[in-house]
């Protein structure tokens, strides 16, 4: 049996943007993590948090990575966040998406997104 766990969107403030004036004020980004686990989590049977992915810790790591420094690109932000959450994840396939909600581009509705896919 395989399983999928999706966390998000989880909203974090981040100093993000190409220009210093855009990075001067934190803006919100949304994170979504999709985990395709290679084995059924033990928590399915045990009903114990210790036997599954603690997505509170994943969210804390995303918040920490978002606040760690300024970023010019969502691609760079996504890689820093993926590295931060990696130790918290079991074996499987993962997609981490960062969604910049309001880039300063006229007539761009819905923002921009970048997704990293990786396996453990």
pLDDT at 9 over 90: yes
Angle (CA) 22 28 34, round 5°: 130
Task: Show the beta-strand stretches assigned E in the chain.
Answer: 3-14, 27-37, 92-100, 112-119
- The whole model's pTM is what? 0.92
Nearest to 103 by CA among 74, 60, 61: 74
Mean pLDDT of 38-63: 94
Angle (CA) 92 98 104, round 5°: 170
Nearest to 41 by CA among 92, 116, 7, 86: 92
| Band of pLDDT at residue 92, cut at 50, 70 and 90 | very high
| Tally: H helices and E strands in the chain | 4, 4
CB 75 within 8 A of CB 112: no
């Amino acid at each position: 049996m395989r399983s999928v766990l999706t966390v998000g969107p989880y909203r974090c403030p981040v100093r993000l943007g190409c220009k210093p004036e855009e990075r001067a004020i934190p803006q919100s980004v949304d994170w979504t993590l999709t985990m395709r686990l290679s084995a059924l989590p033990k928590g399915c049977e045990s009903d114990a948090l210790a036997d599954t992915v603690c997505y509170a810790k994943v969210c804390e790591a995303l918040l920490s990575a978002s606040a760690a420094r300024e970023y010019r690109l969502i691609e760079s932000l996504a890689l820093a966040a993926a590295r931060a959450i990696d130790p918290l994840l079991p074996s499987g396939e993962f997609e981490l998406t960062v969604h910049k909600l309001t880039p300063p581009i006229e007539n761009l509705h819905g923002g921009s997104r970048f997704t990293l896919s990786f396996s453990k």
